[in-house]
């Protein structure tokens, strides 16, 4: 297993305002799989993704990435691990408007003071159809193109796993399909593990495995039969 969550619990608020977003939930993710986490708004699916990605510390339980316990690390070590071994794609892109496309893509590598693999970055840019936009600024791109840049940035450091939180939530139907198709291509080409949260069952259907969350717990876990 590349990723394991054991007995996870996450609570927000106190007393009468207390909300149990995740309730004693355990999950295992196999390397190289595309997993969709689905559920209604407020079901806990995004909280689960953020806990698994080291972005939100659980109140109880533990997460292991490649055998390393995320929440036994100090903040600096966990931040470095996220930059090096995890890629993130969010609904609102989280790109830097003062930088061009290429600068946004290689930003995680520069933050780590690492050497950019220019051949690999060029391959990713071509894979995502951004070769003509390398030096464009973010405001010059459509929403679909911005999300392509976010995917390229997530792939830039050759991560072990990509976390995508409602990556199509801000896009039209055509761009949404293109984005999930590109995530699927990245999974196959680079043997990436992808975990995607979505409320759209059609978008989720591209995944190898669909996990349904209700009220902070897994109520269904469906794997496609490989023929």
| Per-domain boundaries in the chain | 3-223
| Global pTM value | 0.93
Rounded distance, CA 206 to CA 91, Å?
A: 18
Each residue's pLDDT, cut to its tens digit, for the chain (227 residues) gives 999 999 999 999 887 788 899 999 999 999 999 999 999 989 999 999 999 999 999 999 999 999 999 999 999 999 999 999 999 999 888 999 999 999 999 999 999 888 999 999 999 999 999 999 999 999 999 999 999 999 999 999 999 999 999 999 888 899 999 999 999 999 999 999 999 999 888 899 999 999 999 999 999 999 986 55
Contacts 24+ apart (CB under 8 A), 218-224: 218/25, 218/27
The topology under which CATH files domain 3-223 is Rossmann fold (3.40.50)
What length is written for the chain? 227
């Amino acid at each position: 297993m590349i990723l394991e969550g054991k007995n996870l619990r996450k609570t927000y608020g106190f007393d009468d305002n207390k909300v149990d977003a995740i309730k004693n939930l355990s999950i295992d993710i196999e390397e190289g799989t595309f997993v969709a986490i689905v559920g209604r708004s407020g079901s806990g699916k995004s909280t689960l993704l953020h806990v698994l990605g080291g972005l939100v510390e659980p109140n109880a339980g533990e997460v292991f990435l490649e055998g390393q316990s995320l929440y036994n690390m100090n903040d600096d070590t966990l931040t470095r691990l996220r930059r090096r071994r995890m890629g993130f794609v969010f609904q609102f892109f989280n790109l830097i408007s003062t930088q061009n496309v290429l600068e946004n893509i290689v930003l995680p590598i520069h933050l780590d003071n690492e050497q950019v693999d220019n051949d690999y970055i060029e391959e990713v840019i071509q894979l995502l159809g951004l070769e003509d936009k390398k030096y464009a600024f973010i405001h010059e791109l459509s929403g679909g193109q911005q999300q392509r840049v976010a995917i390229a940035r997530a792939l830039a450091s050759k991560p072990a796993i990509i976390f995508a939180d409602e990556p199509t939530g801000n896009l039209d139907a055509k761009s949404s399909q293109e984005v999930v198709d590109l995530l699927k291509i990245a999974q196959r080409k680079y043997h990436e593990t992808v975990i995607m949260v979505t409320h759209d069952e059609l978008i989720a259907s591209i995944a190898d495995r669909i996990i349904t969350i209700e009220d902070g717990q897994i109520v269904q876990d469906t794997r496609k039969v490989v023929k």
